[in-house]
Structure 1
């Protein structure tokens, strides 16, 4: 045990350490301040005990971010022909995808729907931008079709529609265009479509008249005649009603439009009755209306047309032959 004692040194100020006077000639003194500078001594408790070695820490485990792998390129099925369609899945880690530059809607699994207009070219390209910056492309071959062309050796009336007719027609077209632009939350696009009704096909998609060398508008859908008005028909796939006219339109009559999601929609013309309303969700096979001859029609039939964005499609390529 160290004891401090009270001693007097005659040679300088009193400074005691461990019972000895530090006013001896060996001390270090700052002459300017006349203060003794004493080097600290190690603590008795720790002077002879080495510091403990640090405990080794385990190396950090890297965090792995796992993403859905998905396919390495586009995979798809469908009808690669004019008026046809494809359903598929984009490559894994796709950020955005296009068909010939037109953006595709991708669901959470990277699935998409796309289609080819009646007058589409013979080649197309699917393109995907991946998260790491790479681009994956899949070239497609789109087959030509031979359309039913009727040539009439008479000049078509070029006078056009009257202003009185267009005053009525413009609001109708505005409603049709708005209904076709609705992006409904439906998965009907992914289903196998069924025929809304069976009967005689009295008008085929894509058929066209040419008047004295000048092409007229081609037939934009398929006509199904059952021989009588009032025949009920059903939804060919799930969807959301985006237009159900309470009064007949000038050309379409009572018109019903159903959005199947992903930009795909069906229109049903010349109805005698519509039993669903705008905003209703309908299921595949659900009764939705009755065939008629309202609007510009020469007899009772169902005109069914399909569009994907601005592309007109052949319903026959969605259903296959009628049983």
Structure 2
């Protein structure tokens, strides 16, 4: 679990951030202790006084009894972010500056049109399945599994990275929102955190065998292209428990695990998670 820190401290002592100049930022105090990296695709954990309120993008965020809350920044999140901390009658605006990331872009020309244009029936099926996945991500429990240092879900070579994108014949495809781990079919997949299973589908059109696990405060993880599912919807699982096996189901060109991290519907970068916990445990 996270160590507790005094809440009102210089922000730069926890994360790297720019507020116009380093000197100004180093002197500026904030009613939030931050844990994480201020960049696109990042999961950010904050801590305020337990009786405070935090308003982000017009929404009051859930705060734990110890004052912890979570924010996630998408792949192309605006670099200037603002929130407000309310303590009694006092309101403190907080300005955050994210670093901009460069993503791997591949451009492929001369691809036959039928290869990049999906069948209408396939599109219809995929839309229905996407709605089911969306509903599974709306869980908003008060679990705090994400506070534990994350465990790698499978062993293998990193074959795909978050944020990468392909252009076919000049037309952009959807960016990749996960981290791919190449491994033989049947390789065990383990829960990186404890949690509750909210989706367990053996054969979705794009993602094949698919699991979603809720870890609390809108943080959830997804596991795609599984050859076998070892858990069911409603199961409470422990960190390190086997949840499935690597496969090549769905629209996959070879066996691998594509695992993803979301804060609600914001898609985050799993590769940034290990960098978070050395900060919060020191």
The normalised TM-score by structure 1 is 0.72
Shift of 1:92: 5.3
The equivalent residue for 1:166 is 123
The equivalent residue for 2:134 is 177
Query: As a proportion of its length, which structure holds more strand?
Result: 2
For 2:256 and 2:209, locate their aligned partners in 1 and report how far apart those are by CA, in whole Å. Answer: 12
The equivalent residue for 2:19 is none
For 1:156 and 1:103, locate their aligned partners in 2 and report how far apart those are by CA, in whole Å. Answer: 48
1:248 match: secondary structure: strand
Q: Which runs of 5+ in 1 are unaligned?
A: 1-68
Alignment deviations for residues 80-137 of structure 1 (CA, whole Å, 9 cap, x no partner): 111012112124531x312343432111122111111110121212311222x22112
Per chain length, whose mean CA-contact separation is higher, i.e. which structure has more relative contact order (CA < 8 Å, sep 6+)?
2
Matched, 1:124 2:65: no
8 Å contact 2:179–2:269 — kept in the other structure? Answer: yes
Q: Which runs of 5+ in 2 are unaligned?
A: 1-5, 9-29, 276-282
8 Å contact 2:50–2:64 — kept in the other structure? Answer: no
1:170 match: secondary structure: helix
For 1:244 and 1:141, locate their aligned partners in 2 and report how far apart those are by CA, in whole Å. Answer: 37
8 Å contact 2:7–2:33 — kept in the other structure? Answer: no
Map 1:150-229 onto structure 2 (within 5 A): 150-154=106-110, 157=113, 160-226=117-183, 228-229=184-185
Over aligned residue pairs, what C-alpha RMSD do you find? 2.2
Number of aligned positions between the proteins: 249
| Counterpart among 258, 266, 271 of residue 303 in structure 1 | 258
8 Å contact 2:50–2:65 — kept in the other structure? Answer: no
Query: As a proportion of its length, which structure holds more helix?
Result: 2
For 1:160 and 1:249, locate their aligned partners in 2 and report how far apart those are by CA, in whole Å. Answer: 19
